[in-house]
């Protein structure tokens, strides 16, 4: 069910981010240690922000560990905000349009987890998507549906609230169909300015999610560490599983939490679904 | 916008069907002469019936002209009912789940044409699909939606009527959104027992569609022709464009027509859309 | 470094062979337990014999665990002699032409292992291939080179001797370039009539290789076992790792051994490389 | 047999180069007008230079006309030296390692044409490649072999001479095997500093090749032309077929010619093969 990584901070070379760490995302595509599956070889995706109006995105069904083009391109991209994802399908087809991150305007969205009983709920969830936005759904994944529900429920104006409402709608729809614990999620989402990480699941047993500790502090703790030295003080990394064993470098994001990163500031907020008001 | 081919009759080797003719479907994938596009390189699909309960289907995004696996496999399949399709996308993603033929139980469905303004109509069309059937939609093509509308409207019990009703619904939905000529189609569809070919479009200017003349007659006309000799007398081929120049071998299927082939018998029926009764 | 499977006996449905066993080759593509790597997701290949003059072969760079076409096709192929292979690249590119089995006329050849220092030896090995056969090399793998050396050294007339001589040549070339232990191999090879399995390595520490015990005996031991009941008495399976935990069902093939299966008879022969005579 | 494009000059956005022109290379991948084939859908490749020590290269077997990743990436690459190629295979497998441009250190090499009777000559040509360089051959194309022969014959020290000698060797080897006209070529080759275009064939009937006229002159001629205004005065484009109909914008490169571009200067030199001295 996937592993992901997000970076914000001063511009970084994407190749360093993806390939250099000891337990990099590329290594995790072949053998993750904390995921539901060891192998996340059902495709990958990379999104990054530059001075262009919208972020660039490449996605492929190739397993990330062997994809030469990914390695080449990442050596040529420097960006202050990067999202990367390696996929282990939870049932839907292996195709480029089912790879994360998904993009809408300036927004990127990626997910580790699933909507339980998705096929049973699919019609009702689809009907809750705004008709104009619905046309933008190209694949068949639960994540893409989730994203489009959040867009429908006001993501561009009120990001955290919209995800809250989308989760509420998914859970309500699930329960209406007899699914006890409809949603499992860690989500990474951004518009290039603010990064949001969510960790929540209906059953309270979400996939792992970590964020990096303060870089300046770590640089003092480990003065010889090359990787740390290359990072800016405002660098922040959020990951499904840590990229290294470095003691003190990683903090777990608790259940039912939303982490908000903006201009080097971070906020940890409690997160809970917001059920829909009953409509006639 | 694609080329397709269907065969019914005594079991034939799929390789002969796909590769031997002078202007074979494989040749048409690279350079068709009557299609909207010359090249139909956005994927291919093959469906075939045996004594198994459901037909086999393989689909790939590779251009058919170079796909070695297709050539290998076709040399090993003998079948009395074969559907094959090469794709030129009318806008939706190039992915395996957007390749034809589409399968549901014993049914196979393929299409050359498009739903005009599909993205605008997509939500309303999706809403009209039965919720349980809706979960089976894996891609993003207009054809797959069309097929699922026909399934919803009774394809398994009343095939021609269901296609009729589906076309009616698509046209009505289109006009409601200001699309004057919503549908363009030649469709090939079968359950392995009866084969249905449809040629219709809202504007009355459909893509080409031909069926083969009586084989026994052709065999007498052309006693030296090797390809003809290998065919059984009940062999019937329906194609987007003729596989050869042989005079008298191909008859055009008229506009607004449904051709029904069953146990060597053929029926040519007028075809028209059946609009929905107004619902509150 | 790959896992493979071979079957000889009465015709079997390929889908049963590939998908039904508890620890099937498809399962092993995602998580093998005895291989050098857990995941063998760098492509797969399938070869099978029918009454056609040469065997059919399909190969793909897709990881086997998710490939729908493989699942579909295997449900439609029945064959008395089947070779299947899932790949973990030992360095060479992930491409269809580097997937096993390799074919030459009626012969199929697959391999688990590697030629150590292959890039250093590549030129000299290539030079030793017959010029006409050399043109048939389409990929860049050590296995394909090995196969073409065996073909050059008389594989079609004296299969075991040719493999012996090829191994001798590879080892001699390796040592000439300072490679101590040039070859690691388990090899599966057949012309559709006789199947040869080899287990040998320069260092005497080869990858695992097993063959199935006598089916009639196993059927008596396990009268309730469905899978066994479906097998003919002359069925024989040779695998990199056992397809099940069934006690007594699998025997390891020793180091430096060649197993020969022909018309239900089996021979276990000592195997050793045959160095080249010195040429001026 | 392929179409290619090269750009040198002030940094340009790759997306503008590939997608904006009326008869762009992307359009030519689907419908070229001057090539041996209309469709060049057997893969593509892109190489570009930045301040990194070696150029970036991405290659894919996808037809260029539909590849989303190519479109995305090209919108994010600005470079003063760009090579792009769309492939129509002349027989060898469709695989990433057979796509152009080929890279060796700082050098990129691409080709439109073929070596006639390549399979017959392959062994002799391979033997003429330096053993260390030989290990770098990953595919099975005639172009890759040609490039490695030129590298062997001194490409990095004497580029034009090396290509000359390589052509001589290929022709001599061809004639030794009864091939009258062994080589057809337009070649584009660079180390990021100097760009070389070659047009030559054994029979004197090479594929088309054009270079752009002086930009400053064209800008005066067509003051309203947007595309021209975006180009720097030292911009130079070399193409298999013109990207537009603009009168006077394109000059054909004659048969048996080598065009050398360096720091805005251009030289047109006669080109002829240089046969090998006879070796015992």
DSSP chain B: --EEEEEEEEEEEHHHHHHSSTT-HHHHHHH-SSSSSS---S-EEEEE--SSSS-EEEEESS-GGG-HHHHHHHTT-EEEEEEEEE---SSS---GGGSS-EEETTEEEEEEEEETTHHHHHHHHHHTS-HHHHTT--S--HHHHHHHHHHHTTTTT-HHHHHHHHHHHHHHHHHHTT-SS-EEEEEEEE-SSEEEEEEEETTS-PPP-EEEPPHHHHHHH-TT-HHHHTS-TT-EEEESS-SS--TTSEEEPPSSEEEEEETTEEEEEE----PPPP--
**Would the CB atoms of A96 and B96 count as touching at under 8 Å?**
no
Instruction: Return d(Cα D140, Cα D153) in angstroms, integer.
Output: 20
Indicate which of B122, B142, B151, B176 best probes the interface with A, i.e. most A CBs within 10 Å of its own CB: B122
pLDDT at D227 over 90: no
Condensed to tens digits (0 to 9), the pLDDT of residues C169-194 reads 999 999 999 999 999 999 999 999 99
Average pLDDT over residues D162-176: 97
Alpha-carbon Rg for chain C, nearest whole angstrom, is 18
Instruction: Return d(Cα A180, Cα C71) in angstroms, integer.
Output: 33
Which residues, other chains included, contact A128 with Cβ-Cβ below 8 Å and sequence gap of 6+?
A149, A152, A169, A173
Q: Does residue D192 have a cis peptide bond before it, meaning omega lies within 30 degrees of 0?
A: no
- Tokens representing A92 are 């839907």
Per CB distance under 8 Å, which residues of D are interface residues toward B? 30-31, 38-39, 41-42, 61-63, 66, 89, 94
pLDDT score of C280: 47
Per CB distance under 8 Å, which residues of C are interface residues toward B? 48, 50, 52, 56-60, 68-69, 72-73, 75-77, 96
Residue of chain C whose alpha carbon sits nearest to that of B74: C56
- Tokens representing B223 are 């006693």
Q: Does residue D101 have a cis peptide bond before it, meaning omega lies within 30 degrees of 0?
A: yes
**Would the CB atoms of A73 and D68 count as touching at under 8 Å?**
no
pLDDT at A280 over 50: no
Instruction: Return d(Cα B23, Cα D107) in angstroms, integer.
Output: 42
**Would the CB atoms of B58 and C73 count as touching at under 8 Å?**
yes
> Which alpha helices (H) appear in D177-224, and where do they start and end?
215-221
Which residues, other chains included, contact B216 with Cβ-Cβ below 8 Å and sequence gap of 6+?
B233
Would you list the domain boundaries of chain D? 2-270
- Strands, E assignment, A162-278: 183-190, 194-201, 210-212, 236-239, 250-252, 257-262, 265-270
- The interface pTM score, or ipTM, of the predicted complex is 0.92
Band (pLDDT 50/70/90 cuts) for residue D51 is: very high
| CB B98 within 8 Å of CB B142 | no
Condensed to tens digits (0 to 9), the pLDDT of residues C55-100 reads 999 999 999 998 999 999 999 999 999 999 999 998 889 999 999 9
In this complex, the residue of A48, A75, A96 whose CB is nearest that of residue D56 is A75
pLDDT at B1 over 80: no
Indicate which of B48, B51, B64, B76 best probes the interface with C, i.e. most C CBs within 10 Å of its own CB: B76
Q: What is the CATH number of domain D2-270?
A: 3.60.20.10
| Chain center to CA of C21 | 19
| CA distance, residue A195 to nearest chain D CA (Å) | 22
pLDDT at B279 over 60: no
**Would the CB atoms of C56 and B50 count as touching at under 8 Å?**
no
| CA distance, residue D69 to nearest chain B CA (Å) | 12
CB atoms within 10 A of CB B121: 22
Q: Hey, what long-range contacts does A31-34 have (CB within 8 A, 24 or more apart)?
A: A31/C38, A31/C39, A32/A3, A32/A240, A32/A241, A33/A241, A34/A208, A34/A240, A34/A241
CA distances from A264 to A193, A236, A261 (A): 10, 8, 7
- Tokens representing D15 are 């997306």
Instruction: Return d(Cα B173, Cα D248) in angstroms, integer.
Output: 51
pLDDT at C168 over 80: yes
Per CB distance under 8 Å, which residues of B are interface residues toward A? 92-93, 95-97, 119-120, 122-124, 126-127, 129, 131-132, 134-135, 137-140
**Would the CB atoms of A72 and D56 count as touching at under 8 Å?**
yes
Residue of chain C whose alpha carbon sits nearest to that of A92: C66
For residue A10, the SS3 value is strand
Indicate which of A125, A139, A141, A177 best probes the interface with B, i.e. most B CBs within 10 Å of its own CB: A139
Condensed to tens digits (0 to 9), the pLDDT of residues C97-148 reads 999 999 999 999 999 999 999 999 999 999 999 999 999 999 999 999 999 9
Selected residue with higher pLDDT from C233 and D186: D186
All chains having 3 or more CB pairs closer than 8 angstroms to chain D: A, B, C
For residue C12, the SS3 value is strand
pLDDT score of D37: 78
All chains having 3 or more CB pairs closer than 8 angstroms to chain A: B, C, D
Condensed to tens digits (0 to 9), the pLDDT of residues D259-280 reads 999 988 999 999 999 987 655 4
- Give percent of chain D above pLDDT 90: 85
| CB D41 within 8 Å of CB D63 | yes
Band (pLDDT 50/70/90 cuts) for residue C277 is: low
| CB C61 within 8 Å of CB C94 | yes
**Would the CB atoms of D123 and C131 count as touching at under 8 Å?**
yes
Condensed to tens digits (0 to 9), the pLDDT of residues A197-222 reads 999 999 988 999 999 999 999 998 89
- Sign (positive or negative) of CA dihedral C188, B57, D68, D188: positive
Instruction: Return d(Cα D67, Cα D47) in angstroms, integer.
Output: 16
Which residues, other chains included, contact B226 with Cβ-Cβ below 8 Å and sequence gap of 6+?
none
> Which alpha helices (H) appear in C177-270, and where do they start and end?
215-221, 226-229
**Would the CB atoms of A50 and D77 count as touching at under 8 Å?**
no
Condensed to tens digits (0 to 9), the pLDDT of residues A54-91 reads 999 999 999 999 899 999 999 999 999 999 999 999 88
CA distances from D215 to D84, D148, D264 (A): 21, 35, 11
C261 φ, ψ (degrees, to nearest 5):
-115, 125
pTM score of the predicted model: 0.94
In this complex, the residue of A56, A68, A76 whose CB is nearest that of residue D72 is A56
- Full strand arrangement of the beta sheet holding B44-48: B56-60, B44-48, B78-86, B3-13, B236-239, B210-212, B250-252
**Would the CB atoms of C75 and B56 count as touching at under 8 Å?**
yes
**Would the CB atoms of C123 and D134 count as touching at under 8 Å?**
yes
| CA distance, residue D123 to nearest chain C CA (Å) | 5
**Would the CB atoms of C97 and D96 count as touching at under 8 Å?**
no
For residue C102, the SS3 value is strand
Question: Picking from B193-197, D56-60, D202-206, which range would have the lowest pLDDT averaged per residue?
Answer: D202-206
| Chain center to CA of A66 | 22
**Would the CB atoms of D57 and A72 count as touching at under 8 Å?**
yes
| CA distance, residue A260 to nearest chain C CA (Å) | 36
| CB C141 within 8 Å of CB C160 | no
Instruction: Return d(Cα D171, Cα C160) in angstroms, integer.
Output: 40
Average pLDDT over residues D247-266: 95
**Would the CB atoms of C66 and A30 count as touching at under 8 Å?**
no
Band (pLDDT 50/70/90 cuts) for residue C165 is: very high
- Give percent of chain B above pLDDT 90: 85
Instruction: Return d(Cα A257, Cα A272) in angstroms, integer.
Output: 8
pLDDT score of D275: 83
Which residues, other chains included, contact B272 with Cβ-Cβ below 8 Å and sequence gap of 6+?
B164, B200, B256
pLDDT score of D35: 78
pLDDT at D233 over 50: yes
Condensed to tens digits (0 to 9), the pLDDT of residues A221-265 reads 898 888 888 888 889 999 999 999 999 999 999 999 999 999 889
Q: Please count the residues of chain D.
A: 280
pLDDT score of A185: 97
């Amino acid at each position: 069910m996937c592993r992901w990584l997000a970076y914000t901070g001063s511009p970084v070379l994407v190749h360093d981010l993806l390939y250099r760490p000891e337990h990099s995302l590329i290594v995790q595509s072949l053998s993750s240690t904390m995921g539901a599956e060891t192998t996340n070889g059902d495709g990958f995706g990379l999104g990054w922000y530059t001075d262009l109006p919208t972020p660039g995105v490449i996605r492929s069904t190739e397993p990330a560990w062997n994809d030469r083009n990914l390695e080449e391109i990442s050596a040529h991209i420097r960006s202050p905000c990067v999202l990367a994802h390696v996929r282990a399908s939870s049932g839907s087809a292996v195709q480029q349009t089912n790879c994360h991150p998904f993009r809408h305007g300036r927004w990127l969205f990626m997910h580790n987890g699933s909507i339980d009983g998705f096929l049973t709920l699919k019609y009702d969830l689809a009907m809750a998507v705004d008709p104009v936005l619905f046309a933008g759904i190209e694949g068949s994944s639960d994540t893409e549906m989730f994203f489009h529900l959040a867009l429908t429920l006001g993501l561009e104006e009120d990001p955290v609230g919209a995800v809250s409402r989308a989760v509420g709608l998914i859970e309500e729809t699930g329960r209406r169909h007899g699914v006890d614990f409809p949603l499992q999620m860690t989500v990474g989402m951004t518009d290039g300015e603010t990064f949001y990480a969510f960790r929540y699941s209906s059953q309270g047993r979400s996939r792992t999610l970590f964020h990096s500790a303060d870089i300046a502090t770590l640089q003092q703790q480990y003065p010889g560490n090359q990787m740390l030295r290359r990072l800016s003080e405002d660098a922040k990394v959020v990951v499904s599983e840590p990229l290294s064993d470095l003691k003190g470098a990683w903090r777990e994001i608790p259940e039912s939490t939303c982490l908000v990163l903006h201009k080097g500031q971070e906020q940890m907020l409690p997160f809970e679904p917001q059920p829909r008001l009953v409509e006639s």
